[in-house]
């Protein structure tokens, strides 16, 4: 169950990171907060990162539960690596948006930064789908 452990630990790290981000989002709203906290990106910009980290963490926890209760696919190592990578990289388009880089569109006219950001976004979404394909196909065949 080493793959389930990796997924659970990584999911825990993502929940922890999201929890800290939630705390950080509250700082600028406090009347006692110093001016430094007023420069934190807006809650509107940070909220998608916060929520995506939770969603991706719970996705990994569900995969770990499946590994424990349904079975470990032959390619579990690959699917686990894909979910761990995707769990962190899939939040990057929202991070890039804070810096005015649209990572949701891969097309002409965006420049190298947008192309790289959109490629990372596309790769992270693709590997998450592939990981779930590996898990579900294996579990359905049992």
Scan for tokens 């590996």, then name that residue. Answer: 134
Q: C-alpha distances in angstroms, 66 versus 13, 48, 72, 97?
A: 19, 27, 8, 34
Question: For residue 141, what pLDDT is reported?
Answer: 92
Q: Assess contact for 78 and 56: CB atoms under 8 A.
A: no
What is the per-residue pLDDT across 54-94, written as a single tens digit (0 to 9) for each? 999 999 999 999 999 999 999 999 999 999 999 999 999 99
Ramachandran region of residue 46, left (φ > 0), alpha (ψ -120 to 50) or beta? alpha
Q: How confident is the model over 7-54, as pLDDT tens digits?
A: 999 999 999 999 999 999 988 888 887 777 778 888 899 999 999 999
- Which two tokens mark 118? 């959109």
* pLDDT for the residue numbered 1: 79
């Amino acid at each position: 169950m080493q793959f389930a452990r990796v997924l659970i630990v990584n999911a825990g790290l993502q929940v922890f990171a999201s929890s800290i981000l939630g705390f950080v989002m509250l700082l600028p709203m406090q009347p006692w907060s110093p001016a430094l906290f007023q420069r934190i990106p807006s809650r509107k910009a940070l909220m998608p990162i916060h929520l995506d980290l939770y969603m991706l963490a719970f996705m990994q926890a569900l995969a770990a539960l499946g590994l424990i209760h349904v079975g470990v696919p032959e390619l579990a190592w690959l699917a686990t690596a894909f979910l761990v990578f995707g769990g962190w990289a899939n939040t990057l388009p929202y991070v890039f948006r804070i810096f005015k880089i649209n990572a949701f569109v891969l097309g002409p006219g965006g420049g190298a930064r947008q192309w790289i950001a959109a490629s990372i976004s596309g790769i992270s979404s693709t590997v998450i789908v592939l990981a779930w394909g590996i898990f579900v196909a294996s579990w359905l065949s049992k």
